[in-house]
Chains A and B, each alone.
Chain A
Amino acid sequence: MNGLGALFERLKAQYKVWRNIFFVILAVLVGLNFVINTHEPHFGLDKYPGFFAGFGLIIGLVMVLVMKKIVQPLIARKEDFYGDI
């Protein structure tokens, strides 16, 4: 394990710090959205500040939940289902 790897090890150990920095960045970005905004909304709603933040979050949550919890149980089979492994 070379120096770069050791660096990442140390960073991984401090993941809580990174997580908190991440949340701060999220808040800052939402704040900026009130200041910087588009003049030509694509969807009409995106002129409201926080639209893309909410869009990203909701769509992400919905997508993962629907796919993993609803769709995958329906279409998942064992790995060798077709017999060609």
Chain B
Amino acid sequence: MATSSFIHPALGFLALALILPFLPGRQWKWLLLLPPIIAIWSIFTVEPGVYGTIPYLGQQLIWGRVDKLSIVFAQVFAIMSLIGMVYAMHVEDKGQHIAASLYVAGGFGCVFAGDLLTVFLFWELMSIGSTFLVFLNRTRESVLAGFRYFLYHTVGGLFLLAGLLLRYKATGSFAFDLVAPTAGQYYDWLILIGFCVNAAVVPLHAWLPDAYPRGTVTGSVFMCAFTTKTAVYVLARGFAGWEVLAVAGTCMAVYGVLYACIENNARRILSYHIVSQVGYMVAGIGIGTAMTLNGAVAHAYAHILYKGLLFMGAGCLLYSAGTAKLDKLGGLVARLPWVMILYMVAALSISGMPIFNGFISKTMTITGAAEAHRTILALGLEIAAVGTFISVGIKLPYFAFWGRKPTNWEIKLKPIPANMYVGMALAAGLCIAQGLYPQMLYHYLPFHVEEQYVPWTAWHVLQALLLLSFSGLAFYVLREVITPHAKLNLDFDYFYRLIGKGVLRLVCKPIAWIDDRWTEAYRAGGLRGLLLLAAGTVWFDKKGIDTVVDGSAYTVRNVGRVGAKVQNGSLQDYLALAAVLALCVFGLVWYFG
């Protein structure tokens, strides 16, 4: 069933955000599932085309550009929004749901935007929504992290705005289409930087491990899926084939896993992993052949599912045990067995174990890279695969659930609500389904390749198993070395803070000096003069104006009092007065008129 109209998925979420504050009682929770379901239905039934054009400033703003690329991203966004809402159903704080709805609406808006101005509009909406997902954790750490996140993303958004405005000035259009790699102007680079901030390209990535671990338990699940993947979508749309992305992506992929090996906080490990996995996608986009682009899209699709599941698992740990720090956890497998199982589904997916969906997507990118004769890049991506399995596939669950300790009975565990398990099970089910039946995902890939990539060959399976099991061996050998310690590892945010402090000092010192001098002059000369003038005006007002105005008002009122005396209550007087006055007026008019 296909429709020729299109219900923009963002509308449902925006409507939810608007009405949620006004809903009483407790049953509003079920309403949370409605916008994702509408979104899923809308996306599965829409025909490709252009919907919702709005004229503005002589240009057409396109709010509903529906084609294969946007459909596949919107599809996984819709599914993830449903999973996320199910996972978050137990949250009583309406503010978190509103922030999540606005955030998701922003994501959909960006995906279906046909012009840069609309992208910017929804980009900022996403930024606001996600900032509140961090703020609403309501600890000092989270509030400060949210503030840094917001500052940083605003700067990124400004790069995007500057780029698109300069582009409009130069080309006269806001249209958002592929920029050929050789034809990029300085304004395209500005737009690219803006997009790369959200895509967490190294060295612009440090906001991600700073903010995501400090979001709310359910908020981080949303955030891990949407911001970076929207950035991947816009890069795929506008900058496919740019060489710089291929190199940057590989660097990101390796960088992320290197940090993940030494981090302590479970959600921080996963955040660095986002950097790494997005690196795969960015590299795929940068290489630009149809297979690597398909691989990037497939990877994004699978990644949203298994990264969401990873964050959900870590979120369960955080919710239940009160901490996500691996040095404080351990020995929990007996008490949280289902969390462990569902987590391991995601962990094996991300590593690329056969049966799970990482296997059918990750290897496509690497094969594509190799077939495009980018050997160094393919090597880098394989290295990253090793690191992925070691840090997320083994290190995190090992130290959280086993850790060579006996069952840890000292940690008090809060019971985990059923909806969190349901959400995780949904995601796990999809991971396994796609892994076993890859056509489910490949059907929606937008770019056309001559030879369809076939993941389920004997060699591919063996290679994956070899790589992963021997990485596991490396972990086993070094299991004492890789023990996490509670330390902060310096990253590029050191430089961001330095720049921030420098700008602040620059503004404060010289400008404050000027301001001080100015205030002095104002106080000595200007203020005194002003007060004198004010005194004069007050005198004039009191003595002059008020007597006139008050006097006239009193006079009018007294006239009114006298006039009202005419209404004395006597009917004969009324009738007489009516007749006499009417005749007088008529007479005067006829005489003088």
Contact = CB atoms under 8 A, between A and B. Distances in A.
A65 B490 CA distance: 18
A42 B375 contact: yes
B261 A63 contact: yes
19 contacts: A1-B334, A4-B338, A5-B334, A6-B334, A12-B402, A33-B462, A53-B467, A53-B470, A56-B386, A56-B467, A63-B390, A72-B489, A75-B489, A77-B489, A78-B487, A80-B488, A81-B490, A84-B144, A84-B145
Contacts of A12: 333-334, 402
Q: Which of B140, B335, B465 has the most CB of A within 10 A?
A: B465
Nearest to B491: A75
Contacts of B469: 22, 25-26, 29, 53, 56
A-B pairs, top 8 by smallest CB distance, nearest first, are A60-B474, A56-B470, A42-B370, A5-B334, A4-B337, A76-B487, A52-B466, A84-B144
Interface in B377-417: 378-379, 382-383, 386-387, 390, 402, 407
A29 B474 contact: no
Contacts of A43: 370, 375, 378-379
B337 A2 contact: yes
A60 B390 contact: yes
Given A64-B261, A72-B262, 5 more contacts: A5-B336, A60-B471, A63-B257, A63-B390, A72-B487
Contacts of A75: 489-491
Q: Which of A25, A32, A42, A56 has the most CB of B within 10 A?
A: A56
A51 B402 CA distance: 31
Contacts of A63: 257-258, 261, 383, 386-387, 390
A7 B337 contact: yes
B334 A9 contact: yes
Contacts of B487: 72, 76-79
Contacts of B458: 36
Interface in B133-178: 140-141, 144-145
Q: Which of A36, A42, A53 has the most CB of B within 10 A?
A: A42
Contacts of A81: 488, 490
B333 A60 contact: no
A82 B497 contact: yes
Contacts of A36: 458-459, 462
B482 A68 contact: yes
B269 to A, nearest CB: 13
B370 A33 contact: no
Contact of A64 (B337, B390, B465, B497): B390
Size class of A's contact patch? 35 or more
Looking at chain A's contact residues, the main secondary structure is helix
Given A26-B473, A29-B469, A32-B462, A42 B367 contact: yes
A45 to B, nearest CB: 10
B95 interface: no
Contacts, number: 163
Interface of B: 140-141, 144-145, 257-259, 261-262, 333-338, 340, 366-367, 370-371, 375, 378-379, 382-383, 386-387, 390, 402, 407, 458-459, 462-463, 465-478, 481-482, 485-491, 497
Contacts of B497: 82
A52 B470 contact: yes
Contacts of A19: 476
Contact of B470 (A2, A54, A64, A78): A54
A66 B375 CA distance: 24
B488 A5 contact: no
Contact of A57 (B261, B335, B473): B473
Interface string A33-47: 100111110111000
A55 interface: yes
Nearest to B375: A43
Contacts of A77: 487-490
Contacts of A38: 459, 463
B466 A84 contact: no
Nearest to A46: B463
Nearest to A76: B487
Contacts of B489: 72, 75-77
A69 interface: yes
B273 to A, nearest CB: 14
Given A12-B402, A30-B466, A64 B474 contact: yes
Contacts of B340: 8
Nearest to B477: A61
A58 B478 CA distance: 12
A64 B497 CA distance: 28
A55 B382 contact: yes
Contacts of B482: 64, 68
A5 B470 contact: no
